[in-house]
Structure 1
Amino acid sequence: MEPVTDSVEDHLRTAVRSAEMTVLDGWITAELPGISRVLWRGRMWGGTEQSIIGYGRLRQPRPRGAHEDWFLIGLAEQTKHLSVYINAVEDGAYLLKQRADRLGRVKVGAAALTFTKLENLDQAEFCSLIARAHALTPEVV
């Protein structure tokens, strides 16, 4: 995936789930003041084409090979759900995994949070998670 120059606002406006995406974008940007917000497009590791709003830029280490430019937080609309990617680690484990049980009726992978309805996500816990991810990665711009 690569960052593109397409407008994040246009992407939010034209999303199928525009209202939910806009709410999530508001929650995320409120917790990440001054952090960059860029649209990323391309093929994800699983092989699917994605459009992801990336918040913050960081150099993420890879198990094999060079570090990779990536985002701290990513927001994406999928066919049947919404996804938020949280690329922050605390005490050697993904922050998201440590807080999974507090986020509501959601599914959690290593760094991916998915849910079918915005009301299934606990807003206060989600915002706290985003703020903690930011605190753990002060080098993010």
Structure 2
Amino acid sequence: MERSDLDVDDFLASVEGPRGDDLRALDRIISNELAGLERVLWTGPMWGGTDQRIVGYGGISQPRPRGASVEWFLVGLAAQQRHLSLYVNAADGGEYLVRRHAAELGRVKVGSAAVTFGSLADLDEPALRALLRRARELSPEAS
């Protein structure tokens, strides 16, 4: 994936229906909690998979198991075909925050650094906000 010059707000406006409404509401929550950090639309294949458009908030240099580190986003938000995805690329004590706080986040599925859910109503908003604040605290960009 690469940073694009595409307008984030235009992208968010292009997503229709309830999923678009949830995406825009989540963008407001994330933008509020990560105020002052960059907000960029990332496009392209995600780690060799399907083409994605992800709103990225903040920036990090993420080490890769093989090869050089990559520039990446601290938090990412995407609308998939059947669900929404939130990526939180922050770790505390060697464990991704989403794994550490999975039980608090609501009716979600948790991967290494990803949270997937059907709608905003599935997420526990106070737990999400606390997770975002902790990610910000751990971000080198925040210091």
- Is TM (by shorter chain) over 0.5? yes
- Normalising to structure 1: TM-score of the pair? 0.96
- Paired with 1:23 and 1:60, the residues of 2 have a C-alpha distance of 27
Which runs of 5 or more residues in structure 2 are unaligned?
none
Query: Who is 1:3 aligned against?
Result: 3
The answer as to whether partners of 2:37 and 2:141 remain within 8 angstroms in 1 is no
- Match among 119, 125, 128 for residue 127 of structure 2: 125
Q: Which residue of 2 aligns with 1:13?
A: 13
| Deviation per residue, 1:29-52 (Å, 9 max, x gap) | 111110000000000125110000
Ranges in structure 1 where 5+ consecutive residues have no aligned partner: none
| % same residue | 50
Q: Quick one: distance in 2 between partners of 1:21 and 1:66? A: 32
CA distance in 1, matches of 2:52, 2:140: 27
Q: 1:129 to 1:54 in 2, by over 3 A?
A: same
Aligned 8 A contact 1:58 1:140 in 2: no
Letter aligned with residue 91 of structure 1:
G
Say how many residue pairs are matched.
Answer: 141
Aligned ranges 1:76-91 → 2 under 5 Å:
76-91=78-93
TM-score (norm 2): 0.95
Q: Secondary structure at the match of 2:32?
A: helix
- Computed over aligned residues only, the root mean square deviation of the Cα atoms, in angstroms, reads 1.2
Q: Which runs of 4+ in 1 moved over 2 A?
A: 138-141
